[in-house]
Structure 1
Amino acid sequence: MDTITQLVTIAAVVLGGLTTYLTNSLMERSRRKDGLRLRWDEKKLDAYADYVGRVRTSIHIAVLLYELREEIRMMPRTEHELAMELTEASGAQAMAFERVMLLAEDEVIEAAHAIQEDLAAIGWQARGVVEGTLAGWRTLHTDAFKAINRFHEAARADLGVQGRFEGERHTARGLLLPGARNADGATDRD
């Protein structure tokens, strides 16, 4: 073998080795990046689900408190007990909101802020800080559930979930609120 053939062979081996090394490095980098993205997506999903769960818990307790205060429902717990439970649930929900703030994209954060505003209004009326009618109470909840649906849509987009989420259809499915009472005490849901 002459020198040129040996140099071409050595160059081919070196080029093949470099190509293999670069390909493996890029694949490993891509694999690590995908693994990191997957871990963050899992964290986001957990944070989003926890937040919505805590929001719904706060709303549920606010409804119980409001119904007790307005004498729509009687229950074994006192107004004070429910107010304390709402305070605890609101604190846990606020911590979940902070976790969303750390992980989410702008659209999700904006949707979460809208939920926070609606929850504050619900909490104020449930506690009696702000007076309002049952119709106004229903409007607060409708707004809150619309905000939750916007949050769902933004979170789904952030997580890359395929498919459509029809927020208006879900909002219209009815709230778990008491019916409006007429003069003889019957509600529009009786």
Structure 2
Amino acid sequence: MTIAAVLLGAITTHVTTHLIERARHERQLMTRWDEKKLDAYSAYVGQVRASIYAAVLVYEVREQMRTVPRSEHELTMDLTDASTAQGLAFERVMMLAGDSVIEAAHAVQEATAAIGWQARGAVAGTLEEWRELHATAFAAINRFHECARVDLGVSGAFAGEEHTSRGLLLPDARGHDDREGC
């Protein structure tokens, strides 16, 4: 009887240790994947913003709203490079993200593509339509942020509409800047 109790204790200890080690290993894997997701999500948003900034420069130079020491062709090539880097970052998100994050990233891709098309002159549009494209893009970026936060288990939220309007730093009209100093 004593031998059976010792044997049962040894088996129980072995099984318990095995289960604890397996759970620890699974937690480590989840943490590692969450770190990779966070890196991919933040790199993607950084590339999206770089693409938008490059598009703004192309658009403003093409529409003669700004002068810069570089040609429109050079700026367009920068936009092409930024769009390529954004596409690569998007692919990384596709490899790591859940469905809601992927859908949100697709919306960002569509919105930023529309900005790029108008910036290059491939699609005609007014300044007001240009501003609307940016509002749509920033709303899509905010949705991506929300989905990524949920995917990563980050608690808390931000006011989406209020936050969206803060990211829209575009001129009001050609050659006019009615903003007052602080």
What's the TM-score bracket when you normalise by the shorter of the two chains? Answer: over 0.9
Deviation at 1:154, TM superposition (A): 0.1
Whether 1:158 aligns to 2:148 is no
Unaligned runs of 5+ in 1: 1-7
Q: Is the 8 A contact 1:51 1:97 kept in 2?
A: yes
Q: For residues 105-148 of structure 1, what are the alpha-carbon distances to aligned partners after superposition, in whole Å with 9 as ceiling and x for unaligned?
A: 00000000000100110000000001101100000000000000
CA radius of gyration, larger in: 1
Residue 11 of structure 1: how far off its partner (Å)? 1.1
Q: 1:80 aligns with which of 66, 70, 73?
A: 73
Question: Aligned equivalents of 2:124 and 2:131: distance in 1?
Answer: 13
Instruction: Kindly provide the CA deviation profile for residues 30-54 of structure 1, in whole angstroms up to 9, marking residues without a partner as x.
Output: 0100000011000000000000000
* 8 Å Cα contact 2:51/2:79 also seen in 1: yes
Identity %: 67
Q: Any unmatched runs of 5+ in structure 2?
A: none
Residue 179 of structure 2 corresponds to residue 186 of structure 1: no
Q: How does the TM-score come out when normalised to structure 1?
A: 0.92
Distance 1:159 1:187 in 2: 40
Q: Give the TM-score taking structure 2 as reference length.
A: 0.96
Report SS of the residue matched to 2:103: helix
Check conservation: 1:118, 1:140, Cα contact below 8 A. yes
The whole-number CA distance in structure 1 between the counterparts of 2:179 and 2:57 is 18
Structure 1 vs Structure 2 CA RMSD: 1.1
Aligned to 1:5: none
* 1:179–1:189 Cα contact (<8 Å) kept: no
Alignment match of 2:112 (pick from 106, 116, 119): 119
Equivalences, count:
180
Letter in 1 for 2:122: V
Q: Give the match for residue 176 of structure 1.
A: 169
- Give the drift of 1:180: 2.0
